[in-house]
Structure 1
């Protein structure tokens, strides 16, 4: 924690917690799909459960089942909209926040 990432109450600024997860679901999908696709986060929500003090961690996964759903949607409709979520936890293992994002994916021709 520093003056750059804490709020007036001395805990993690909510925008920092949201920003921790912003690009990663999209990047994970893009890396697995390869070239020829556009991937955007179209919505993102963060539910703040308790103040983030000190170290906050998040583990974000894009498992094969999620990629199979994206690929099936692309095959059927030419676009895919899927939801992905993650939990942010403090150093003590307690839940600090939950985040959810909708990914929009479509084929891209250059």
Structure 2
């Protein structure tokens, strides 16, 4: 099923884990290459010392690089999250924001590295910033990408 960025934005903003944590997708580019996510500090995502839970900061960034690459590469590719880590740089207060972006060079590199059936493990990162533009956390993601193998009957069928 093909889904538009605006419908996906509506659906993910209603997804209970994001809704409950105060995570909101503010924008998804028409080509899925830019995504903006925000999270307000509230009772559901505030830790004991009054700042954002580290898990909430990671959660607000979790699926987006995978989804963006899936949309950019198309149905001929398998895309999975392989690994992730987060560096906490300062307490997250107020509204925090993450801006995800992928470019043509990344897409071309992935297509070239997987052209003969090999996998590639692109490493991407995104910064979570506070309202003053200061970096609160840096999230690192490693993805697994491979071109799908053609089904045996397609390979054996004459053109």
Q: Is the TM-score greater than 0.5?
A: yes
Structure 1 segments unaligned to the other structure (5+ residues):
none
1:24 to 2:64 alignment: yes
Deviations along 1:43-68, one digit per CA (max 9) or x if unpaired, are 10100000000100011111111111
Partner of 2:155: none
The 10-residue stretch of structure 1 (33-42 or 82-91) with the greater mean CA deviation from structure 2: 33-42
Take 2:141 and 2:116, find their aligned partners in 1: how far apart are those partners?
22
Deviations along 1:4-39, one digit per CA (max 9) or x if unpaired, are 101111100001111111111111111011112211
Partner of 2:89: 49
Superposition RMSD in Å: 1.4
Say how many residue pairs are matched: 110
SS in structure 1 opposite 2:122?
strand
Take 2:107 and 2:126, find their aligned partners in 1: how far apart are those partners?
16
Look at both structures and tell me which one has the larger radius of gyration over its CA atoms.
2
Q: Which has the higher contact order (CA 8 A, sep 6+)?
A: 1
Q: Please give the TM-score of this superposition, normalised by the length of structure 1.
A: 0.93
Question: In the TM superposition, what are the counterparts of 1:1-110 in structure 2 within 5 Å?
Answer: 1-108=41-148
Structure 2 segments unaligned to the other structure (5+ residues):
1-40, 152-159
